[in-house]
Chain A
Amino acid sequence: MTKSELIACIAERNPHLFQRDVERIVSTIFDEISAALSRGDRVELRGFGAFSVKHRDSRVGRNPRTGEAVSVAEKVVPYFKTGKQLRDLLNGPEPAPAPAEPAADPTPPAS
């Protein structure tokens, strides 16, 4: 699905809106998320996921072809963490969680 297909799909569900307005709505959403990230802010959309910016320190990398050490500058990269609800949608309902290891009580079961 591309952005234009997404717009077409939303327009179809909202026949009372101009296509042009739907375009602006969809663009606004992604523009605002981008703007927030470029300010260093997080964007949290419960159920869907959260966008954030991660800082990677500078490090000494290697040119994989020559094996030569190269310094890699520190950088900021966008990151997305899938929300729980969407993760569950992708995988079907979570199987009943195994009873948590009784961390507070380390005594092994008597037998």
Chain B
Amino acid sequence: MSRTMTRAQLSESIYQEVGLSRNESAELLEMVLEEISAALVRGEAVKISSFGSFSVRQKGERIGRNPKTGEEVPIRPRKVLVFRASQLLKARIRGEKISADADRDLDIPDAQPPSGYSSSVIDKIREEIGE
């Protein structure tokens, strides 16, 4: 069964890793989240190597529809936050081991073979899609 990790467990890990007080560990976690948020609000992308990148995308106004009533409702232009996991994190989630230097993917568009794959895997994919 999958569990949920929250601030409590994260700051406990910081506490055990660095030996600050529990209070200060919690404050530092908060500070990190704050700084990431502040950068995003300034419109900056935040790139964490071997983890992923957060960026802000501007969405234009469009006409949506209330699915219940069928009524047309304008959806205001807005900013959305997009998280793209790094190849390293994706591989880790798939349960694969990939060397850290495979993580040069943050700026590579999707169409390129992800750098995290070994050449044999890429060959296999090429074969599969008949290239």
Contact = CB atoms under 8 A, between A and B. Distances in A.
A65 to B, nearest CB: 8
Interface string A26-58: 101110111011111111111111010100000
22 contacts: A1-B46, A2-B46, A3-B49, A6-B36, A17-B20, A25-B17, A28-B14, A28-B17, A28-B18, A29-B14, A29-B29, A38-B93, A41-B5, A43-B4, A44-B5, A45-B6, A45-B10, A51-B83, A68-B129, A78-B90, A80-B54, A101-B68
B50 to A, nearest CB: 8
Interface residues of A, number: 54
A33 B47 CA distance: 15
Interface of B: 2-7, 9-10, 13-14, 17-18, 20, 25, 28-29, 31-33, 35-37, 39-41, 44-52, 54, 56, 66, 68-69, 71, 76, 78-81, 83, 85, 89-90, 92-95, 128-130
